[in-house]
Each structure stands twice: as structure tokens, then as C-alpha cells.
Amino acid sequence: MAYISNLESISDRISLGIEEKSMLRAITQANDCSKSAHMDETAIRKKYPKNWKIKGIRNSKRLFKKLKAKGLIRIVKTRPIEWGLTSLGHRIAMELDFC
């Protein structure tokens, strides 16, 4: 198992776009977990209020598919979570298991 801090080195080993790299960096900084990461849009949104949309769900799915294809992620699960009384309606959390 790789620790989540190793995500930066993963982004150097595979070809990622600028948006994907910045999102990966945001996820690394927003999570303190070691073996499995809980990617939560709210945590990223709080940490990066101005540009949280680039690091949002749509790009993260594309990024994690790329990581899974390279064999760097074993399990990718998505599940809807209640957002609360906001206009956005819902959010998605991804649970990852890094190889």
C-alpha cells in the first residue's frame, strides 16, 4: 500500500494534464488518511474556495480512471452523499485503495 503523500510522485510518473495535477495536489493536501483516501469535494472546496470546480467530481472521475488503468489504484467506489440544504443537491465521495 502506498501512502497518500505518494500521490505527488504518481503524478510525475504518469502523464497528467495541468488541471489533473492540481486536483491531485488538492486531494493530497485535503486528506490526512494513510492507506485509503476519502476524496470529498467539500474538503477541497473549503481548502480552495476560488477554483474548487476544476478539482471537482467530473475531472476526478477521469483522473481516477487514468490511475486505475495504470494499475496505481485497486478499488474505486463512488457513492452519493446528501449535500444538505444547498443548491448543489448532492456530492459524490470516492473511496480509493492505492497500490
The reported pLDDT for the residue numbered 20 is 63
Give the structural domain span for 25: 4-98
CB contact at 8 A, 21 and 55? no
Output the pLDDT for position 26. Answer: 59
DSSP H or E stretch at residue 98: strand 90-98
pTM of the model: 0.33
Number of domains in the chain: 1
The more confidently predicted of residues 42 and 53 is 42
> pLDDT value at position 11?
53
> How far, in Å, CA of 84 to CA of 56, rounded?
18
Q: How many CA atoms lie within 13 A of 37 on its CB side?
A: 29
pLDDT at 41: 54
| Alpha-carbon distances of 19 from 23, 33, 79, 82, 87, rounded to whole Å | 6, 23, 23, 26, 25
Residues above pLDDT 70, as percent of the chain: 1
Mean pLDDT computed over 57-81: 59
